[in-house]
Chain A
Amino acid sequence: MFAPSLLTIALVSVGGAYAVISSSQTAQAADAGQVAIDEGNKLYLTGCSSCHGMQAQGSANGPTLLGVGAASVHFQVATGRMPLAAPGAQAMAKEPQYTADETAQLAAYVASLAPGPAIPTAEQLNYEDADIAQGGVLFRVNCAQCHQAAGQGGALTYGKYAPSLMKATPQELYEAMVSGPQSMPVFSNGTLPVEEKQAIIAYVSELQDAPNPGGLSLGRLGPVTEGLFLWTAVFAALIGAAVWIGIKAR
């Protein structure tokens, strides 16, 4: 007789207790998220608002950050491009000005304003199973026309440039693809699915680590540095030898 009611009480109490505990966990997580956003807001107001506006709405000196997403903020701040050292054709990568925590807080704040590409998860960045050769094809189709076939970077118009990829981390590569910084187009998951992004990241890391089977690489910049080497070092040696032989006979 008591058994069903006892069961009911047990169920209710356990369920109720769970509800209380889990909601408090959510609340805690929400609190932590809110703290990060608040901290990010403070950092934002001191470091970014003079150009991007008090509500990230943008100004004459900087674009709006509404909808750029956490990925963009992390890319720009973690590579030192933002805050901008000086106005110019393009933001240059330099020593990052914020710690990793501060960068995350800034990203959280900007992401809280409007939805945008999120910072990639560890799973998204795992390129171990990616097809390097396929990545190479995708790299040559999508990236090489600006970043050069060996990823050494290249010039764009009016002082803008596609930077070298030789020091880019997988996370930065991924974030650049989803956020399209500076002159770079956005490669959304519709254009370039996650697996293809991973393949490209795998190929770029291959380029970063690849040895030079031919010897000295000459910067992998192609025929210009080869020609420079030829007309300086090689011809110095050849003409030196000619002069040497010419002198000996006298």
Chain B
Amino acid sequence: MSEPSTIEKAGGGVATYVDQRVGSNKFLARNLGKVFPDHWSFMLGEIALYSFIVVLITGTFLTFFYKPSMIEVVYDGSYVPLKGILMSEAYASSLDISFDIRGGLLIRQMHHWAALIFIAAMAVHMFRVFFTGAFRKPREFNWLIGVVLVTLGLIAGFSGYSLPDDLLSGTGLQITRGIAQAIPVIGTWATFLLFDGQFPGSDFISRLYSVHILLVPGLILALVTVHLMLVWTQKHTQFPGPGRTNENVVGYPLMPVYMAKAGGFFFIVFGIIALIGGMVTINPIWIFGPFMPDQVSAGSQPDWYMGFLDGALRMMPNWETNLFDWWTISWNILIPAVIVPGILFTGLALYPFIEAWVTGDKKEHHLLDRPRNNPTRTGFGVMAITFYGLLWIGGGNDIIATSFDLTINSITWFLRIAIFVIPPIMFVVTRRICLGLQRRDRDKLLHGYESGRILRLPHGEFIEVHEPISIKDKAVIMSKTDITPLPAPERRDSAGVRNKRYHLQNVQHKLSGFFYAENIAKPSAAEIEAAEHHVAHEVALEAPLHAYEDADQINTFHGGVLHHPGMPQTNAEQLAERAQH
């Protein structure tokens, strides 16, 4: 071993110095070698983390120049079409950031794009976790933290969208006010609390500002920390593969592989955000003008993550109940804006617990499911995404109408029916596709994969050569666990004692059947062994064909049929021989 270089000596010196004071070497030695499994979909959560970091950095810059005040000022900046107009200081300072502060527009656009990416990346990360069953024991709490993070992301995003106090953001707040008012009993008082009296009042900007820059980011940071610590201590899940079990983690060490990968990916995400922040307009507040409660623009939409709520509101029929002539219940707002999202998010939060209960599964899971191997879960996921997507379409109904020459009324009516019809269809279709894929997996395991080579036998029959699948594919397919539905509960046990929990257990049994009754069972060990012999034999038989060039007499063909040189068989002989294999 050569002498350590000057740099190595210096590095060692620093490490020793720090270690003697904070005891870091032991910690680093233990953790830097930590192994993480590798898959591109494990990086979706990283996109969320990195875009959140960009949001924090750019947001800090913006706080230097933004004034969270609703005091009316006369605009005197460099954007001519608004010169001399009365507006809030919040809007004026947002315009200044856009036009009069060096790099301000770039940072504002980066902040906004990064925020949109943050929430979208959380959603995509959640899809991965959901469809692979990564939320199962012991990770249910981390799933819950994730759901809370998404919710906080929505609040962070929406409060930020409202801060510039332009016409679009004010319109969004008007709708928020309407939604808060629709909550029975406390609605009116809740809005007074939010806006300190009547809307718009003169306080909501400063209140939203505290929520946006202090409360929500603080909570997000704290929860992200817990989220990552749990990933650290529980270890990352991995996809099935050769040598990967529920008890191990196969991958690369944190140092140097993941340090380099994660660091590099951070800069890629940062770079993409900087690129679109500099090249693609987002929220051109100067076009919308200052918020005035008497004005509204056509095509007013929220950012993408609130689009589903807006869409639900837009497609809801105008139902209202007036009780005793003094109490109005606005179903037209209450159902789409409070009840539906309430069900959606509660269902999301509770899903891991529901599935665990239905399955009766108390085991720990560190090996991920392939989506096809849990068709009902995958079906639910696709159904929920379809439902959300239809609400989304509703949110853009006017843009869709003008862009595609449709009428807004027919879009609305289509959605009112589709929202009940299409998601269940998608559920059934997805489940069928999953079961089909399971069948194919079983087929591949038993009969090998279709190599694409067609052979013609001497008697004229064409067959396709099957070859055994790779060890990796085999390990992946074999990772499937067949879940048997829970048995029907007994009304009375063998001693004749009444089962008090009969009805609950019966529900559990029915649901369990719904989840797992349809399943393409993984082949048994004996079946696989037999099949392997068969496939291996086919391949062995085929060997002479590969040696075509060298053989001096070719009359040996593949297909489970062995032809002796110079002795063509009859059809009956061939079939009899094939039947043996």
Q: Which residues of A contact B (CB under 8 A)?
A: 89, 132-133, 136-137, 140-141, 144-150, 152-159, 161-162, 203, 206-207, 210, 212-218, 220-227, 229-231, 234-235, 237-239, 241-243, 245-247, 249-250
Contacts and interface: CB of A to CB of B under 8 A. Distances in A.
Contact of B281 (A89, A144, A162, A212): A212
B160 to A, nearest CB: 13
B289 A136 contact: yes
Contact of A214 (B43, B105, B257, B402): B105
Interface string B115-134: 01100110010000000000
A214 B281 contact: yes
Task: Specify the main secondary structure of chain A where it touches its partner.
Answer: helix
Given A245-B43, A249-B261, A216 B292 contact: no
B272 A238 contact: yes
Contacts, number: 192
Nearest to B294: A141
B398 A215 contact: no
B297 A145 contact: yes
B95 to A, nearest CB: 11
Given A146-B298, A223-B303, A246 B38 contact: yes
27 contacts: A141-B292, A149-B288, A154-B299, A155-B397, A155-B402, A155-B408, A158-B408, A161-B401, A203-B81, A206-B80, A212-B284, A214-B282, A220-B281, A222-B399, A223-B307, A224-B399, A227-B116, A230-B116, A234-B276, A235-B120, A237-B272, A242-B43, A242-B46, A245-B264, A246-B39, A246-B40, A246-B43
A144 B278 CA distance: 28
Interface in B383-428: 395-399, 401-402, 405-409
Interface in B35-75: 38-44, 46-47
B295 A140 contact: yes
A157 B299 contact: no
A237 B38 CA distance: 20
A5 to B, nearest CB: 68
Interface in B279-314: 279-284, 287-289, 292, 294-304, 307
Q: Which bracket fits the contact residues of B?
A: 35 or more
A227 B124 contact: no
A220 to B, nearest CB: 7
A203 B80 CA distance: 11
A59 B265 CA distance: 69
Nearest to B172: A223
Contacts of B47: 238, 242
Given A154-B402, A161-B402, A227-B307, A247 B407 contact: no
Interface in B71-97: 80-85
Contacts of B280: 214-216, 218, 229
A137 B396 contact: no
List the 10 closest A-B pairs by CB distance, nearest first. Answer: A154-B298, A246-B40, A227-B304, A214-B281, A159-B407, A149-B297, A155-B398, A155-B401, A242-B43, A148-B298
Contact of A133 (B83, B272, B295, B409): B83
A210 B281 CA distance: 14
B81 A206 contact: yes
Contacts of A89: 407
Contacts of A206: 80-81
B92 to A, nearest CB: 13
A100 to B, nearest CB: 29
B353 interface: no
**Residue from B120, B278, B292 having most chain A Cβ neighbours under 10 A:** B120
Given A155-B401, A214-B284, A230-B117, 7 more contacts: A144-B167, A144-B296, A149-B168, A154-B402, A222-B301, A223-B303, A227-B304
